[in-house]
Structure 1
Amino acid sequence: MTSDPCYLFTYGTLMRGFSNPFAEKLHALSSYEGKGYFNGLLYRITWYPGAIYEEKSDSKVYGEIYRLTPGTELIKDLDEYEDVFEDEAASLYVRRVVPVTTESKSVIPCWVYLYNQPVKDCALLSDGLFRG
């Protein structure tokens, strides 16, 4: 997998149907490629979700795939939205490359914001879908 993919996978408030300035910016500066999933667990943190990637998990996290437009500041802005900091221990999320399975069953490397804090008191969304 490349360390700088041109795709972003979203599973929460950046998906279509959510109204916030960062979702609007993502949709304006990228192209929607379809739905997909990765192996892992999805939790309701509060009003937003958090996903944990687990390569060998039977559980899946479902969401949307976007092709990023080159030459934009989009990732920098989304890092700010997701509270990604230089000090990873203080970050709410970390941005990682994860293999995402598309609707056509191909696998592509995507940037994904993975939750970076304890989830022991958070509700597991066992169907892997965040609905708001």
Structure 2
Amino acid sequence: MTLLFIYGTLMPGLRLEAEMHGAGFVGTAQVPGRLVDVGRFPGLLLDLSTGDGQVTGEVYEVDDAQLARLDVVEGMVRGDRDASQYWREAVSVLSGPLQGQPVQTYVYNRPVDACAPIPHGDYRRYIREVGRES
């Protein structure tokens, strides 16, 4: 089983929530990084050298088969980071029931020059603020 941090359209009530059916909810959490608006979904960016920013989301326990399906949903091509839209990486939880624990998450792997920042790092709050359905 893998602990997976999700922060966008995979969360309950959002567009891709069905992809998480069967996963075990562990709790809410925050991880280091920042969010950008990539269009119909957010992208998490890691710059752990600065220590700036945190992203709000949820941690789930997923099995290997579900993780493989999620890799496809997220456009991750195993073994080929350059071809991947998102890349799965380990980060440490900043808060919540798993504080200090490593979890996997999908990091956006494309240029973000034209992407709007989501300064507070909370995608659900952001889509309410901009009036977008997800």
Q: What TM-score range do you get, normalising by the shorter chain? A: 0.7 to 0.9
Per mean C-alpha deviation after superposition, the further-off stretch among 121-130 and 11-20 is: 11-20
1:60 equivalenced with 2:54 (yes/no): yes
Q: Distance in 2 between matches of 1:115 and 1:38?
A: 14
1:78 equivalenced with 2:74 (yes/no): no
Q: Tell me the matched-pair count.
A: 123
Deviation of the 1:19 alpha carbon: 3.6
SS of equivalent residue, structure 2 residue 56:
strand
Residue segments in structure 2 that go unaligned for 5+ positions in a row: 125-133
From 87, 111, 119, give the equivalent of 1:118.
111
1:7 equivalenced with 2:7 (yes/no): no
1:82-118, CA deviations, whole angstroms, 9 ceiling, x for partnerless residues?
A: 0001321121000111111232472211110000001
TM-score of the pair, normalised by structure 2:
0.83
Q: Distance in 2 between matches of 1:74 and 1:17?
A: 19
Deviation of the 1:42 alpha carbon: 0.3
Q: Distance in 2 between matches of 1:24 and 1:96?
A: 22
Corresponding letter in the other structure for 2:67: I
Q: Distance in 2 between matches of 1:17 and 1:51?
A: 19
CA contact (8 A) 2:91 2:105 kept: yes
**Do the aligned partners of residues 19 and 48 (structure 1) sit closer, same or farther apart at CA in structure 2, a change above 3 Å counting?**
closer
1:33-67, CA deviations, whole angstroms, 9 ceiling, x for partnerless residues?
A: 11111111100000100001222322111111112
| Segments of 4+ moved more than 4 angstroms | none
Residue segments in structure 1 that go unaligned for 5+ positions in a row: none
1:32 equivalenced with 2:25 (yes/no): yes
1:102 equivalenced with 2:95 (yes/no): yes
Question: Percent identity among equivalent residues?
Answer: 32
Please state which structure has a larger fraction of its residues in helix: 2
What is the root-mean-square deviation of aligned Cα atoms in Å? 1.7
TM-score of the pair, normalised by structure 1:
0.84
Deviation of the 1:8 alpha carbon: 0.2
